[in-house]
Amino acid sequence: MTGQQMTPPPRSQPAPAHRRVLAHGLYEARITLRNGEQLLVSLILPLLVLIGLHRAHVVTDVVPGIDTVAPGILCLAVMASAFTGAAIATGFERQYGVLAYLATTPLGATGLILGKSLAVLCVIAVQIIVLGGAGLVLGWSPEPVGLIWLFGVVVIGAAAFTALGLLLAGTVRAEATLAVANVAWVLMGAAGGAVLPLNHEGAGALLMLLPSAALGDAVRDATMNGHLAVIPVLILAAWALAAILAARKWFTWK
Amino acid sequence: MAVSSSAACLRLAGVRYAVGAASSARGVTEILSGVDLTARRGEVTVIIGPNGAGKTTTLSCAQGLLRPSAGTVHLLGEDPFRAGAGLRARVGVMLQDGGLPQSVKPRTLLTHVAKLHQDPWPLDNLIERLDLSRFLSTSIRRLSGGQKQRVALAAALIGSPELVFLDEPSAGLDPQSRQLVFDLIGHLRSQGIGIVLTTHLLEEAQHLADSVYILKDGVVVRHGTVSELTGIGADDHDRPASRRLSFASPRIMTSGELDEAPFTLELDSDSNRAGARWGVPAIASPADLASLAAWWERIGLFPAEISFEARTLEDVFWEVSAP
């Protein structure tokens, strides 16, 4: 064999970058939406919380009304898919060597992250349609102008939480990622200012720096008042930037 | 365009890879201590070595998954660690642990990876060659180890690569599946595709390899063609063919007698009470044979049986991997 002359195989070419990212985004979104556990966290639990809080408001009046609760539930859903879902899926992909394999394909590291982000946005779109629709049925009446801000805030929030999720998944074991991501989601949802607004006075104001509180405030301001809450959006953007830089430094493929 | 099939498609020069930090309690551990390796188009390059020798780390550095601490890697003429999609499209990778998403079906995965390439290997052809049709619609987590191996191999080849890395491609395969994989590797070689593979199956390495690299403790301790390494078929006078000699001793030899032996002796595993069977790994000339006979004469031993055996890659492996 050695030293023979032969026609070399044709040079293999990658598909164009946008096609690779689109293909991977849709591939991951399909996997997520077919996964029962992911659906439970992304849609069913937020839907149950929405209905539960609405019922509590009707009965006791201690819980705020649907106009406050519905945007909070959207935040809970965004955190579920962008943070918890992305972190757990990525953590196990890392454990099974899937990330390492995909990093050797034309998708590469950048395409993989962009594809995952696209998948998260696809899932969030489904969540907004389902949960927003349920909210409307229950009487939610968002400011129409604010819906434009809502989409912008959700994209920044998704970027921040996806980066945080990938940072977690890329630095600790899959089992630890599973535990931390679930606990963090419950804490941020219950007490982190995502579902219900926090008290802005005293030492509690420090909690406003949490990404969950920033997302909650920005989404509520958009849908209730039709405003863009600049400071919460800047806080979210700072979280996104910090998490992306940290993930670039510490994330390992296997 | 015609090119020499022996054009290098992978070159590693003085590649070192270390983990840890000097400031940490564990300090720095060097996994690779200067690996030199060249793989060529249209050839099968086999890397063998004991567990922990650095085979997978060598492949990871070559694939761009790990950045070497020192040395250079040229994969199809580029640095794989900095390379873009253009280079990755030309290389196929099968990882030791498969790298397969567990909840996905093989057809979904292969269809997806094919979409990342401009002109992928026709999926139906790959399915037929690797006999994947029976479990294409079963979740990967439900497949047997051998079925997963075949899916991982298909995932490495779906992009029609010019060079393919296969880390333990036949691990867990039944003989029938192994033959399928061997046939496919032969087909790839005949198409001018470079193949770099690791294996623990030395018989497989001997059967497939155009060149062999034996790694131990992070360095290449020997390399060459199978003929060069085993001495079989060597036709130059400087390196005459060597043979393994085996003899049956009719009595138990003392340790003093064994110490006097002109060559290192290996006790064959099929020795029994009736008499020990000893092996001399490399008899390279009549003079070697004469010195062995002289030793028998000195200790008064007349072997009950003497035979020559062809040296195998396994003999060489044991020789170089001995502590």
Using alpha carbons only, how large is chain A's radius of gyration in Å?
20
pLDDT number for residue B124: 92
Per the structure, the complete domain to which residue A131 belongs is given by 17-250
Would you say residue A4 lies in a domain?
A: no
Q: Are strands B194-198 and B44-48 parallel, antiparallel or unpaired?
A: parallel
- The encoded tokens of residue B239 equal 């390196």
First to last CA, chain A: 37
* B185's tokens: 């590797």
d(CA A163, CA B244) in angstroms, rounded, equals 61
Of B99, B108, B116, the CB nearest to A15: B116
How far away is chain B from the Cα of A254, in angstroms, using its nearest Cα? 9
Say yes or no for a CB contact (<8 Å) between B65 and A104. Answer: yes
Within 10 Å of residue B19's Cβ, how many Cβ atoms? 12
Angle separating helix axes A174-191 and A211-225, nearest 10 degrees:
40
Q: What is the pLDDT of residues A187-215, one digit of tens each?
A: 999 889 999 988 777 767 888 899 999 99
Residue A236's pLDDT band, with cuts at 50, 70 and 90, is: very high
B-chain residues within 8 Å CB-CB of A20?
85, 115-116
Work out the widest C-alpha separation in chain B, in whole angstroms.
74
Rounded Cα gap, residues A105 and B89, in angstroms? 6
The pLDDT of residue A34 is: 87
By DSSP bridging, strand B194-198 and strand B163-167 are: parallel
Write out chain B residues lying below 8 Å of A22, CB-based.
Answer: none
Residue A113 forms part of a structural domain: yes
Structural domains in chain A (count)? 1
- Integer angstrom CA distances of residue A171 from A166, A179, A244, B298: 8, 14, 13, 66
pLDDT tens, A124-162? Answer: 999 999 999 999 999 999 999 999 999 999 999 999 999
What strand order describes the sheet that includes B70-75?
B29-40, B8-19, B70-75
What is the token pair recorded at A204? 């509690």
Report the amino acid identity of residue A160: A
A24–B contact, CB cutoff 8 A: yes
pLDDT tens-digit series, residues A160-169: 999 999 999 9
pLDDT at residue A54, as a whole number: 92
Mean pLDDT of A5-18: 74
A210, A131 Cβ separation under 8 angstroms = no
Amino acid B286: pLDDT: 87
Contacting residues of B for A35, CB less than 8 Å apart: 103
Confidence (pLDDT) at B3: 43
Q: How many Cβ atoms sit within 10 Å of the Cβ of residue B137? A: 10
Nearest CA-CA partner of A71 in A30, A12, A127, A15: A127
Question: Which helix (H) or strand (E) is B4 found in, with range?
Answer: strand B3-4
CB-nearest to A15 from B93, B108, B118 is B118
Cα–Cα dist A51/B277, whole Å: 82
Q: Which residues of B58-89 are buried (b: 16+ CB within 10 A; e: fewer)?
A: bbbbbbbbbebeebebbbbeeebeebebebbb
Residues whose CB is less than 8 angstroms from the CB of residue A143 and which lie 6 or more positions away in sequence, other chains included: A222, A223, A224, A225, A226
Would A61 be classed as within a structural domain?
yes
For residue B200, which of B96, B296, B304 has the smallest C-alpha distance? B96
How deeply is A218 buried, as exposed, middle or buried, from its count of CB atoms within 10 A (0-12, 13-18, 19+)?
buried
Mean pLDDT estimate for chain A: 90
* Residue A154, domain member (yes or no): yes
Q: How far is B269 from chain A (nearest CA, A)?
A: 37
Helices (H), A138-229: 146-169, 174-191, 211-225
Write out chain B residues lying below 8 Å of A39, CB-based: none
Question: Which run of H or E residues covers position A75?
Answer: helix A66-79
- Tell me which residue of B204, B162, B165 sits closest to B42, measured CA to CA: B162
pLDDT averaged per 10 residues, chain B (length 323): 66 93 80 95 94 93 93 95 92 90 94 95 92 94 91 94 92 84 91 92 87 93 87 51 82 87 81 73 86 94 87 80 69
A2 domain residue, yes or no? no
Please tell me if the domain spanning B8-224 has the same topology as the one spanning B243-321: no
First to last CA, chain B: 49
Do A166 and A244 meet the contact criterion of CB atoms below 8 Å apart? no
Distance from CA of B184 to the nearest CA of A (A): 15
Domain boundaries along the sequence of chain B: 8-224, 243-321
Is residue A218 situated within a structural domain?
yes
User: Which pLDDT score, from 0 to 100, does residue A88 have?
Assistant: 94
Give the per-residue pLDDT at A9. Answer: 53
Closest CA to A53 of A206, A174, A194: A194
Mutate to test the interface with A, among B63, B96, B105, B115 (most CBs of A within 10 A): B115
ipTM: 0.82
Q: Reduced to 3 states, what is the DSSP secondary structure of residue B196?
A: strand
Whether A222 maps to a domain, the answer reads yes
The pLDDT of residue A3 is: 40
Instruction: Determine the Cα–Cα distance for residues B226 and A33; give it in Å rounded to an integer.
Output: 52
Q: Determine whether domain B8-224 maps to CATH 3.90.10.10.
A: no
Class in CATH terms, B243-321: alpha beta
d(CA B206, CA A47): 61
**How close does chain B come to A16, measured CA to CA in Å?**
8
Chain B partners of A5 at a C-beta cutoff of 8 Å? 2-5
Q: Which residues of B284-295 are buried (b: 16+ CB within 10 A; e: fewer)?
A: eeeebbeebeee
Beta bridge partners of B216: B219
**Comparing C-alpha atoms, which of B38, B22, B32 is closest to residue B68?**
B32
Partners of A14 on chain B (C-beta within 8 Å) are 85-86, 88-89, 116-118
Residue A79 lies in a domain: yes
Q: Any residues with CB less than 8 A from the CB of A197 and at least 6 apart, and which? A: A64, A68, A72, A216, A217, A220
